Structure 1
Amino acid sequence: MIDFSVAIRLYNGALVLPRILEALKAQVISDSINWEVIIVDNNSVDGTVDIVREYQQTWTLCPLRYVLETRQGASFARNRAILEARGTWIGFLDDDNIPASTWVQAAYEFGCAHPQAAAFGGQIHPNYEMTPPANFERIAPFIPVVERDETICFTTGWRAMSNLVPPGAGLVILRQVWLEYVPYPLRLRGPVGDALHLKGEDVEALLYLKKAGWEIWFNPLMHIEHQIPGWRFERRYLLRFFHGIGLSKYVTRMVCITPWKRPLWVLLFMANDSRKLLLHLVKHYRHLHRDVVSAAELQLLISSLLSPFYTWQKSLSGNRETLAARFQPTNDRKPKNDLTKQSTALSNCLNSNK
């Protein structure tokens, strides 16, 4: 029986994977804990599999397994890891997360001490490639950077009334509970390659666990180091990043709300978003062009306000495609990739005849 599975989700992570595996080799773990490492390759093209095969030849600590998930998207990779894992608990590491030497031990002990916990996160310490922009601390939790010393339960007190949950980086989950209460597929797929417009899948999933009555915690004894490259401070990236977070707000906000109450809550959320947007403009409009943090916050507010319309538009588009496919003659239903190949072949033929 496996007690704890470490799941590493990667997309083109050949350069960073060795550092993560070396950190796992240095784990200080009790001999009584049976653990494994699973690497979920989200369709990489940079030789990630070769790095894994090289480590598998000399790896003796625990099972080191490789899984290829060809459907790109963070939620697809996470779900594949959950299905493949054999551990009671699963701890997730992204390709820019380096665990401290006590991370696995601290996670397993916390899980055993909190049997009603379905998920918990830990401290996320930044390793900046360059100095962050001014006022970066205002948006650091989204990156994420989380540094606090107190143990927190997100499902009791005032936090139970909010959608506050730990970030997905370094998240530990109780596998069987996740399989029972988190629907699949989620509405939010998470980042797909370099695309950022469907972020928030980890928040959506955790809110389903909260809705089911399970506890969600923050464990300050778990530590990971988050590698943050300089390009993540660029204005263009931050605006795209917060645009994606904002567009996911409608989905995450509606998870715990009874369907018949949702129209009223949408209006209330939009009114509050509008109020925040106006206050932000009044306070920061003079330096939005030079203050990237204020610009990122503005983008988050705008996209949050627009998130219901974005989600409804996506739903309507999906319904139209489903109806069109349903009423299409069977003989005309060709896979999209076949049609693409035929189109490419025809184009090549036409070009060759020019």
Structure 2
Amino acid sequence: MGGQENVDYSIVICTYNPDENVLKRCLQAVRQLNVANISTEVILVDNNSKVRVQDLPYIKEYTAGIPGLKQLFVVKQGLLYARLAAIAEAKGAQIVFFDDDNEPESEYLQELHRLNKQFPNVAAWGPGNVEVDFVDGVDDNIREVALQLFQHRTATTVGFAAIKDWQPCYPYGTGLCIKTDLCREYLQQVNQGRLTLTGRNGNKLSSGEDTQMIMLCISKGYAAGISPALRLTHIITAKRANRPYMNRLLYGTRSCYETCMVQVFPERKQMLESKLISGAKFSRQTLKKFLKTKWNRSPQKTFDLIQFIAAHASDYMALDKPLPGFVNKVLTSLKIV
């Protein structure tokens, strides 16, 4: 496991079968980060791509000039395992997680450095301004939902909190920066089997590990927040800016929430048990909303249905209860499970 060696920030970029133009933009942005008076390392993690990232023709060119670059190859599939390997190798006091479709602005690290000095009790920071770049365009009928799902943000003030439930000022996984000692604690709890959410893995789409990392910070008495001066662009291609992908992303992101919370805060289970709706009621309300999607073909009706199912499925999953059969049938018809 890597030891800290007077490195301020370990920048972690995880990738799997990357889109060449997207990864180029990410690496170019990281190369252009202002690191004046800041020590850094960059860990590029290839999560078992079909063609090894280190063998891609453009990689040497785009990684040239990136200080302290290290490349890892992680065979076990899943974003979680790529991140865990990077955490184990990181030497920085803070770890910054950029996905391969993130394009941070040049002053990103300078703003993080300022925030870390000014607010030492905030253990997790993320961008308050995220611009979503639909490089291949996006259907106007799904644009608003797409912006939300791909973490569009336009904050105007610094905000942070230490509340044991999700807050509007909590950071997403995009551009997330966390104190390394807390990342190590997260790694330890995953290895012990206490935290089990894996994040994106094949067709399974969720952000559970991001939420668990942030909530772990809260559980240890720290706050988490965002700053408008932390700015980045989230690059989204047609492969993701479409209804089938977004349906799965919406369900995966929302349905894992209560499992995440209960694993970090076990006392929350009692509250969930008291508010759990019966299987019959869950099925009836699902049927009602499902029929509305047949009468009204608007994508928003389908998104509303998925949001409803995911919110209640989240409670069922956290309490290890099977979903009602009819609900599973609807999810299958939507090609979500």
What TM-score comes out, normalization by structure 2 length?
A: 0.79
The answer to whether residue 307 in structure 2 is matched with residue 296 in structure 1 is no
Gaps of 5+ in 2: 1-5, 323-337
CA shift for structure 1 position 57:
9.8
**Residue identity matched to 1:9:** C
Residue in 1 that maps onto 2:332: none
Match of 1:232 in 2: 240
When you count helix as a share of all residues, which structure comes out higher?
1
Counterpart of 1:110 (choices 102, 111, 115) is 115
From 47, 64, 84, the equivalent of 1:59 is 64
Structure 1 residue runs of 5 or longer lacking an equivalent are 315-354
Matched, 1:162 2:169: no
Query: Measured at CA, do residues 309 and 52 of structure 1 come closer, stay the same or move farther in structure 2, by a change above 3 Å?
Result: farther
Equivalent-residue separation in structure 2 for 1:195 and 1:17 (angstroms): 22
- The percentage of aligned residue pairs carrying the same residue is 24
SS at match of 2:303: helix
Letter in 1 for 2:31: K
> Amino acid of the residue matched to residue 245 of structure 1?
T
Contact 1:97 1:226 in 2 (8 A): yes
CA contact (8 A) 1:93 1:170 kept: yes
User: Distance in 1 between the 2:248 and 2:38 partners?
Assistant: 42
Partners of 1:75 and 1:190 within 8 A in 2: yes
Q: Check conservation: 2:293, 2:302, Cα contact below 8 A.
A: no
Could you tell me which residue of structure 2 aligns to residue 343 of structure 1?
A: none
Compared CA separation, residues 139 and 257, structure 1 to 2 (3 A): farther
Q: Is the 8 A contact 1:56 1:64 kept in 2?
A: no
- Normalised to the residue count of structure 1, the TM-score between the two structures is 0.76
What's the CA shift for 1:270? 4.3
Structure 2 counterpart SS, 1:233:
coil
Q: Distance in 1 between matches of 2:222 and 2:63?
A: 40
Equivalent position of 1:190 in the other structure: 199
- Establish whether residue 92 from structure 1 lines up as the match of residue 97 from structure 2: yes
Q: State the partner residue of 2:325.
A: none
Per-residue CA deviation, residues 135-167 of structure 1 (Å, 9 max, x unaligned), is: 643563332212212111032xxxx25323311
**CA RMSD, Structure 1 to Structure 2 (Å):** 3.1
Cα distance, 1:94 vs structure 2:
0.5
CA–CA separation in structure 1 for the residues paired with 2:63 and 2:251 = 44
Shift in Å, 1:288? 7.0
C-alpha change, 1:253 and 1:270, in structure 2 (3 Å) is farther
Distance in 2 between residues matched to 1:280 and 1:26, nearest whole Å: 52
Q: 2:35 aligns with which of 29, 32, 45?
A: 29
What is the CA-CA distance between 1:172 and the residue it aligns to?
0.6
What secondary structure, in the 3-state scheme, does the structure 2 residue paired with 1:21 have?
A: helix
Structure with max Cα Rg: 1
Cα 1:262–1:58 change in 2 (3 A) is: closer
Aligned pairs, how many?
304
